[in-house]
Structure 1
Amino acid sequence: MSKTLSAATVAALLTAGSAAAADKVVFQLDWLPGGDKAPIYVCIDKGFCADEGIEVAIEPGRGSTEAITRLAAGTSDVGSADIGALMAAKVTEKVGITAIMSIFNKGPHAFFAIKGTGVTKIEDVKGKQVATSPFTSSNVFLPLVLADKGMTEADITLTKADPGALGPMLMTGASEVIIAWMTNVSVFTKQAASAGKELEVLPWYSAGLDLYSASLLASDKFITERPDVAKRFVKAFKKSLEYVKSNPDESAVAVNKIVPELSVDDVKGAIMDTLILEFNDVTDKDGLGVFETARLAETWKRVSAAQKLEPAALDPEAMVNRSFLAE
């Protein structure tokens, strides 16, 4: 005797079938989880990835170089990493990776100082003690920023310290200036407030360092074998970026739900710090996620100069694929 399935049972079976059919994608972070990585967590928590039939697994990283290595090896499908690092890797290692969407259309690099210490513009770092992390990509661009203002590294006293020590060094006066990312403004602002001080932030993009930075990169294997999945993922990721901008509080909660060791307050602070690198005058002019030809060429010009690579060694247009961003 046949039995009639209830509506709830049918819905459950359809849901199970949909989940079973989801395309699995391994997303590679270029660093540890944080508010600056909110879009991928929002994509999962708010169902934007699931709506596109995609199930995402997130892999943490320890820098753009490691992220690029994993993407090139095919252990991850798509991820976020600095496009400058990819440009260098394309020249030196011929990696099979393509940039498919811009995330930060402005570089995150900056000088941080305490207000009232005489550092209010880039030129004021001359003669100062400057502390930086040993591994940050900011160190690569430091000579260019200084040169743009008529200085060299000989004009500063550069010290390298653990990233976690930079804030305390600045607050205690152990270093007059530190080099860090704009994604850490809220962290350092809190530290300064606790010490009864105010922060002076000098982003390098304001000094003329015009370049793309964090970007969505994909392995060529993923693009070639699963182009439809790549297109659907970019669609979901872009929607997540826009959601984070409009809903920072909810986005911070979404990250905390998946990574509970991160406080909602700290995540929101990092989200607010990061938005200026994603939504700004460049975005207004070119569109979200777009690689504009002239800015891409300028990025390679800066990267090749910083890395001492032959400018003719790479055609930056050959390492991007804009088709996945198109609706």
Structure 2
Amino acid sequence: MTNCWEGPTLRSSRIKFVALIFGAFGLLAAACGSSDDSDSGSSDGAPDKVKLTLQWVTQAQFAGYHAALDQGFYADENLDVTIQPGGPDINPIQLLISGDSDIVIQPFGVVLTSREAGADVVSMGQVFERGAYRLVYFDDLDIGGVPDWAGKTIGLWGGFEPKVSAAFGKFGMNVDADANIFSQGWDMVAFLDGQLDLASAMTYNEYAQALAGNESDREILMWDPNEEGTATLEDSLVTTESWLAENPDIAERFIRATARGWIHCRDNPESCIDIVLANGPALPRDFQTWQMNEVNKLLWPSTNGLFNLTDGMYQETADILYNYGVIENTASKDSFDMSHRDRALRSEKMPEGDLYGNNFKPMDLDPRELFG
């Protein structure tokens, strides 16, 4: 699972989030991002240091960054990158604002909520072109579409509620009035125990848990907000406007090397599974194999080119967050800057590689065989 930008109650969580952001601002005067403004690295030729904080704990969701480090792609760009795993007690945005991280992986929605709270954060690349969030349910529930959710018990994570709220609104319904909302944990126990009719799941994580734990003869089906038109953007490369202005060359080198990491995972998934397991030896290989395959599907094939965040993609997320009260003011396009991405990936320094992956074919995995 990934951490999210809102808690169980959107309005109360927004207030808490604002307080947290401004609490972090108190650290800003005594901290800063990388002070190196050279276009070619440190003056003595030493690699430029970059600290990357992940959104969650080590897992294949972040395989591309680990691959860029393991395969020497960051070193090729004269970068010394430290990867810090995230977790339930780590707030990547707070680390970014305090100067304790240069770049973080966060949903694009976090960029918009953080900016509304006063932070100068910005996306410099959209990693996942399509979202992994789903609602799952058993086939005997007789659900043919969103209108059939009326009266059902639905497990939600606060940060992903806007996707579901928007779907209800699309059919003239209200999530709070027309369904029973259950604050779901980061597992599928309540779903498998029958407490939930529909449950939140990421295709690369909780959905696999549900498949592995399903001991019934019933099939698990999924609702996809991407197909419904109510998805919001997930994993994004996030930094501060000030760091980006001071370190444009470092940003471009980082983006270029990271792109190579994700291309490596697309073309060599087994290699990236090994790399992830080397960084998280306690992780089960079967689940990381599933996760690597599902995460690749979020990037490839790429309609707009790797890491690209278009105006249309931005607008859909911004509208959903505004219309459902996650942000009180309309968002600004200043929340993303693709200029560094464009220069990085169009540069002659970019090794020949396909940024669209039109020939990508995921691994053919049978969950019954994979999970036993």
Deviation at 1:169, TM superposition (A): 2.0
The residue type paired with residue 296 of structure 1 is: Y
Letter in 2 for 1:241: W
Q: Which residue of the partner structure matches residue 23 of structure 1?
A: 48
Work out whether 1:109 is the aligned partner of 2:133: yes
Residue 324 in 1 paired to residue 340 in 2? Answer: yes
3-state DSSP of counterpart to 1:183: coil
**8 Å contact from structure 2 (residues 128, 234) kept in 1:** yes
User: 2:64 matched to 1:39?
Assistant: yes
Cross-structure match for 1:277: 298
Counterpart of 1:24 in 2: which secondary structure? strand
Report the AA paired with residue 183 of structure 2: K
CA contact (8 A) 1:120 1:202 kept: no
Write the deviation string for residues 82-141 of structure 1: whole angstroms up to 9, x where unpaired. Answer: 11111111112x2122210001222332111122221343333222111234xx411243
- Tell me the SS of whatever aligns to 2:104: strand
TM-score w.r.t. length of structure 1: 0.84
CA spacing shift, 1:131–1:310, aligned 2, 3 Å: closer
State the match for 2:230 in structure 1: 209
Residue 15 (structure 1) aligns with: none
SS of the residue 1:32 aligns to:
coil
1:267 maps to: 288
Classify the secondary structure of the residue corresponding to 1:163: coil
CA distance in 2, matches of 1:79, 1:268: 24
The alpha-carbon distance between structure 1 residues 222 and 308, as it changes in their structure 2 partners (threshold 3 A), is closer
Unaligned stretches of 5+ in structure 1? 1-19
Change (3 A) 1:188 1:262: same
Q: How far 1:216 moved relative to its partner? A: 0.5
Letter in 2 for 1:54: L
Give the aligned partner of residue 90 of structure 1: 115
Query: 1:159 is matched with which residue?
Result: 182
2:202 corresponds to: 181
SS in 1 for 2:237: strand
Q: How does 1:233-312 map to 2 (within 5 A)?
A: 233-280=254-301, 283-284=302-303, 286-312=304-330
- Structure 1 segments (4+ residues) deviating >6 Å: none
- Please say if residues 307 and 341 of structure 2, whose CA atoms lie closer than 8 Å, have aligned partners that are also in contact: yes
**Distance between the aligned counterparts of 1:62 and 1:257, measured in 2?**
19
Alignment of 1:191-202 (within 5 A): 191-192=213-214, 194-202=215-223
In the TM superposition, what is the alpha-carbon distance from 1:195 to its structure 2 partner?
4.1
Residues of 1 paired with 2:198 and 2:232: CA distance?
23
Partner residue of 2:82 out of 54, 57, 80: 57
AA aligned opposite 2:203? M
Structure 1 residues 140 and 249: CA distance shift in structure 2, 3 A: same
In 2, the alpha carbon distance for the partners of 1:63 and 1:81 equals: 14
Highest Rg: 1 or 2?
1
Contact 2:58–2:279 (CA under 8 A) maintained in structure 1: no
Match of 2:332 among 310, 315, 319: 315
Q: How many residue pairs are counted as aligned between the two chains?
A: 297
175 and 310 in structure 1: CA distance in 2 versus 1, 3 angstrom threshold: closer
Q: Aligned residue for 1:143?
A: 165
Partner of 2:95: 70
* RMSD across aligned positions (CA): 2.2
Distance 1:303 1:65 in 2: 23
Q: 2:151 aligns with which of 123, 127, 149?
A: 127
Q: Match for 1:139: what amino acid? A: E
More helix by percentage: 1
Shift of 1:75: 0.7
Q: Contact 2:152/2:180 (CA < 8 Å) preserved in 1?
A: yes
How far 1:292 sits from its partner (Å)? 0.9
Instruction: Give the whole-Å Cα distance in 2 for the aligned partners of 1:210 and 1:156.
Output: 20
Shift of 1:304: 1.5
How many angstroms apart in 2 are the aligned matches of 1:145 and 1:67?
29
Once residues 122 and 174 of structure 1 are traced to their aligned partners in structure 2, the CA distance between those partners, rounded to angstroms, is 19
Once residues 60 and 209 of structure 2 are traced to their aligned partners in structure 1, the CA distance between those partners, rounded to angstroms, is 12
Per-residue displacement from partner, 1:50-98 (whole Å, max 9, x unpaired)? 2212222122224799212211221100121011111111112x21222
